[in-house]
Amino acid sequence: MANTQVLRLIRAVDAADSPAELVKAVEDLAATGAEAAIPTLIAVLSYSNPRAARAAVDGLIKLDITAVPFLLEHIQEGSSYSARAWAIEALSGIGDPQGLETLLRATTQDFSMSVRRAAARGLGKLRWQMMASEQVLSGQSKVIETLFQAVQDSEWIVRYAAVVGLQGFAAAVFISCPSWVISIEMRLAQTAGSDDSLAVQARPCWPSSKFSPV
Amino acid sequence: MSSASSFENSGLSSASAGVCTLSLEQAIEYLRGSDLSLRVYAAWWLGRFRIDDIRAVAALSEALADEDDRTVAGGYPLRRSAARALGKLGNQSAVSALMSSLGCSDFHVREAAAQSLGILGAQESIAKLTELLKNEVAGTEASLEEPELIQPYDAVLEALGALGASAAVPVIETFLQHPVERVQYAAARALYQLSETASAARQYGDFLIQALSHQKLQLRRAALADLGAIGYLPAAGAIASALAENSLKLIALKGLLEKQLEQSEGDFLCEESVKVMQMMDALL
């Protein structure tokens, strides 16, 4: 797409003066898949318009690893918790291991439960094949340690996301590290039997992929 | 209800939630002391950490009659805070003091008292709550904010639904036509809970599903909270695709899932539960 066309769509986002117009403009901009759209899509994450933010996240996920450095910078800059949650969601959706440290920190240290939730989920979706092979093992051991912590979070939604994250992670290391899969199974059995929330207890009983431990 | 908008801004973050900065004795001392800001803080603290101790309940119940902490407009901040905290403590000995608070002139004190009585399952408050709904309690003043309401109808309706007050159904039904949508939703939520059969309840659940497409985000949030509270399974798809924050949609879906799990009793995961979990996973 021509740059002028992208620029026109960026202007339309800036000029939108109703929530519906904003949504439409963001959807159009996201559909371009243009790198130049990234800063604008990220700015939209801070507007309190969930539908526009959702469209921006989908657009950023489609831009894949190109969007990652921008997202990391945005998260570090100290955005509002809801903007941060959306950015973490985009990062999780992309699954680029460049985001590993950010996701690890967000899972256990962010004050917002929405951010911790999205980050815990993201740790189960990392594309390890994109990481330099000598770094994989140490990265993975941090992930399992962090998710074991998250499964004890004070908020049910973070524990729920950590269960899903652990299942996803187990599927990723099913062949390479079967011993981790066994410890995940044991940890999830404990959650199923003892979590305070019925929904979190139930989640490990449903394996979302055939490699997920029950 | 209001939990939707204050979600995650409830003061303490959960990262620091484990840190109890006060002790029970200190909180009670503050609560009975003369520093107004510390009194409100102590009341909030006792509720936040659910300090269910008979001394805490007694001190908070006393605070419901406080006359020192008044706003310019005549509100009672300490009473509001104490009434909310008493619901969180879950102690039945607070019921009679909370019932007296239903007659307080401050709208928000009545609102908090009604919510707490609903949480405490206080059957004995049904008659008084119904009087409030009919606006038969003397000396109560309307809310000062928009939309101006004579009584905290949504909180009262919610409590009556939770308490299974089937005798109040005819009065509650009149609120389905209330000019304030939030009040209509609360009436639908209560009527759903008070319906004798699932087929009679459906119309109220479906009414709340309609509300999920309201133009105003605030009202979509309210409908999400109501659907989660009643656990209306046919709403699952509409909740998942509603235009609102994922966090609120997840809470609503959790309500549906848990209702389903309770009904299927025990370790068996039915197809419906799995469907709800799939939707939740997609929102994480």
* pLDDT tens string A162-200: 999 999 999 999 888 889 999 999 999 999 999 999 999
pLDDT band of B243, cuts 50, 70, 90? confident
Rounded Cα distance, A161 and A182, in Å: 19
- Whether the CB of B245 is below 8 Å from some CB of chain A: the reply is yes
Residues in contact with A64: Cβ distance below 8 Å, sequence separation at least 6, in sequence order: A94, A96
Contact by Cβ (8 Å): B74, B86: no
Tell me if chain A has a CB within 8 Å of the CB of B247.
yes
Q: Is the pLDDT of residue A211 over 60?
A: no
CB-CB neighbors (< 8 A) of A203 in chain B: 277
Amino acid identity of residue B68, one-letter, is D
B103-109 mean pLDDT: 95
Question: Which comes out higher in pLDDT, residue A214 or B167?
Answer: B167
The answer to whether the CB of A50 falls within 8 A of the CB of B245 is: yes
Which is nearest to A42 in space by CA: A8, A18, A66? A66
> Is A161 at the interface with chain B, CB within 8 A?
yes
pLDDT at residue number B21 = 76
Q: Poorest-confidence range of A161-165, B5-9, B130-134, B191-195?
A: B5-9
The answer to whether B254 contacts A199, with C-beta atoms less than 8 Å apart, is: yes
Cα–Cα–Cα angle for A124, A125, A126, rounded to 5 degrees: 105
Those of residues 9-68 in B touching chain A at CB distance below 8 A are 13-18
Residue B19 is predicted with a pLDDT of 52
- CB burial string B207-243: b at 16+ within 10 A, e below: bbbebbebeebebbbbbbbbbbbbbbbebbebbbebb
Burial of B16 (0-12, 13-18, 19+ CB in 10 A): exposed
The b/e string for B32-50 (b: 16+ C-beta within 10 A; e otherwise) is eeeeeebbbbbbbbbbbbe
Q: How far is CA B3 from CA B24, B77, B176, in A?
A: 26, 18, 22
Question: Which residue do the tokens 């439960």 mark?
Answer: A113
Interface contact A15, partner B, CB < 8 A: no
Cβ pair B246:A202 closer than 8 A? no
> How confident is the model over A55-108, as pLDDT tens digits?
999 999 999 999 999 999 999 887 788 899 999 999 999 999 999 999 999 999
Retrieve residue B106's tokens.
């401050």
Which of residues A177 and A157 earns the better pLDDT score? A157
CB B208 within 8 A of CB B227: yes
| pLDDT at residue number A175 | 87
The per-residue pLDDT for B267 is 59
Q: Tell me the pLDDT of chain A averaged across its residues.
A: 91
Provide the pLDDT for residue B142: 87
Which pLDDT value is given to residue B1?
Answer: 37
Nearest residue in chain A measured CA to CA from B273:
A202
B179 — pLDDT class (breaks 50, 70, 90): very high
Q: Over 90: is that where the pLDDT of B11 sits?
A: no
Residue B73 confidence (pLDDT): 85
- Looking at residue B12, what is its pLDDT? 40
A112 interfaces chain B, CB cutoff of 8 Å: yes
> What mean pLDDT do residues A120-147 have?
95
CB contact under 8 A, A153 and B14: yes
Query: Which residue has 């989920």 as its token pair?
Result: A121
Task: Say which range, A45-54, A76-85, A179-188, B60-69, has the weakest mean pLDDT.
Answer: A76-85
Distance from CA of A122 to the nearest CA of B (A): 9
Among B54, B55, B51, B64, which Cα is nearest to B22's? B51
Between B7 and A18, the higher pLDDT residue: A18
